[in-house]
A and B are shown apart, each in its own frame.
Chain A
Amino acid sequence: MNLEKEIKLGTGVPKEITKKTKIRSLHRKEAIAGYIFALPAILGLLLWTIGPMIASLIMSFTNWKIIGASEWVGFQNYVNIFTNDIYFKKSLWVTFYFAFGSTFFTLLSALIVALLMNMNVKGQSVFRTMYYLPVIVPAVASNILWLWLFNPDFGLLNTILDFLGLPTLMWIYDESTAIPSLILLSVWSCGGTALIFLAGLQDVPKQLLEAVDIDGGNVWHKFRYVTIPTITPVIFFNLIMGLIGAFQAFTQAYVMTEGGPNNATFFYVYLIFREAFLQNNMGYASALAWILFIIIALFTLFIFRSSKDWVHYGGRK
């Protein structure tokens, strides 16, 4: 648009050819400026993502260590992972358990909180702050705090259970409750997801909700046939980002449990970390990382594919 306008307002050279060259040179000028301004992002993409990804794929076929020579070993790392690694299957199971559990419960609690806040209750901004507060607590600090809350003898959680006359738990110190405890910790910081839901809920068209009222529908009808369909894109976004984030759980294992008890919290990224930085098996760890990448990519693809059946893009798309 601006180009044509400029030419009209410009020197008024009547010749078709001069006009064309001028447009072309303006286009070129804009393209050059575009590349200059976008350069940091483009370089960053090549330098910090595409380059390392290719390097990581190549390394996964070698026995690379930090020091010493490395050799091409073909698929040996992958074969070893699937046949010899006693931690691989365990960590995969633990990670899936945690990823699905924490994503499900975080999304569910976040949605409930957002729905309640969206009812125009008094002090909405205070609630927003209160629920968001746990999100900004640095991971190490929150993990150390929860380590203390989970303390079976002097921790807050057992004090509460005891006060309510309920049996106390061993929390992260027992194989069967370790992952549920860490899921609880994730649910504590569901406030970020809740705010994203809240922003989505504020887009729900009022006329549609009123139409349900006129047709004699109740709260459930409104929720099921208006609210949920309108926020499916937000659910979709939160689901994908939640799963991708949860698949990479690491800090909890490093700070709180050291993968225990009895490897019950031996997260996949913790396994990669141990192979790479404690055992120096860079090639092997790269193969592990690529397997994680493929798993996450497959899940994302699957959710994207299925989204056609359940995500509604109102007028936006």
Chain B
Amino acid sequence: MKAKTIKKNIALIILIIGALISFIPFFWLIRSSLMTNVEIFEFPPKLLPEKFIWSNYIEIFSIIDFGLYVKNTLYILIPCLIGTVFTSCLCGYAFARLRFPGRNIWFGAIIATMMLPPAVTLIPTFMMWSKLGGINTYWPLVFPSFFGGGGFFIFLMRQFFLNIPKELDESALIDGASYFQIFTKILLPLVKPAMLVIGFFTFTNVWNDFFGPLIYLNDESKFTLALGLLQLKGSYSSDWNLMMAAAAVMVIPAVLIFFIGQRYFIEGISLTGIKG
């Protein structure tokens, strides 16, 4: 028994060291964001600023239009959330519950797309949007989320639907309910946790997306937070305190959302592994 406790304690110590290592960059981010532009370049570097310069956080909103970028990001986020959650439910229901010819082939093909490098479809998709006049609009960033949200989300939703006892739909069917009624009245309320999992993942995907906005948005007034941060890097590249403050503004909401939805994030990730 004693050897076991010792082993556990060694594991605990290694884990704590690892956790500190993964945490230190966050500490450095906040620490640097609260320094003056002089203090940040002092040698040897200080652990903590002499005085916390909270005004850095106000300053970044005045040197670039950060408020607008936040608003733009939300403007993309909300329709993406609605589209992804709603359509992934529809498709998850179809692939888990309804029998139709070719179902397994379609599902297999959709799962296979998870392994496809987006670089292959990127150029024709871009050309299509350019022909349709979608460049410099939010259409290319929002519209694709109304197609089930991609292989991963459809897979995840299907797993959740499979876990609901089938007797529920069967008895409703016997009572004369339509498939649409079964879906909305009986099953949707039961997959709420899955909807939250997908909602939280969609939030981080959109909030973090960088490549999409980079190629589709040209106009500064349309920029998202990720592009705004990059723009700041271009023009204030020596003001590391301001850049760190701006990066923190982008990181903090993501971290908050993670803490709120932690349970759902972890559930979603754990389900991923069962795939095998």
Contacts and interface: CB of A to CB of B under 8 A. Distances in A.
Contact of A56 (B90, B114, B123): B123
Nearest to A31: B100
A277 B215 contact: yes
A40 interface: yes
A137 B116 contact: no
Given A199-B273, A292-B117, A40 B179 contact: no
A220 to B, nearest CB: 13
B226 A136 contact: no
A225 interface: no
A59 B100 contact: no
A132 B120 CA distance: 30
A1 interface: yes
Interface stretch (B60-68, B190-198, B248-256): B248-256
A127 B15 CA distance: 7
B244 interface: yes
Contacts of B121: 48-49, 52-53, 56
Given A9-B174, A40-B90, A313-B276, A138 B123 contact: no
Contacts, number: 286
B165 interface: no
B101 interface: yes
Contacts of A120: 8
Interface residues of B, number: 100
B276 A30 contact: no
B273 A6 contact: no
Interface string B220-262: 0000011001100100000010011001001100110111001
Interface in A286-317: 286, 289-290, 292-293, 296, 300, 313, 316-317
Contact of B247 (A55, A141, A250, A292): A141
B25 A145 contact: yes
Which 4 residue pairs across A and B have the least CB separation, nearest first? A44-B147, A34-B100, A233-B276, A37-B94
Interface of B: 7-8, 11-12, 14-15, 18-19, 21-26, 28-29, 32, 40-41, 43-45, 87, 90-91, 93-95, 98-101, 103, 106, 109-110, 113-128, 130, 144, 146-148, 150, 154, 169-170, 173-174, 179-180, 183, 204, 207-208, 210-211, 214-215, 225-226, 229-230, 233, 240, 243-244, 247, 250-251, 254-255, 257-259, 262, 265-266, 269-276
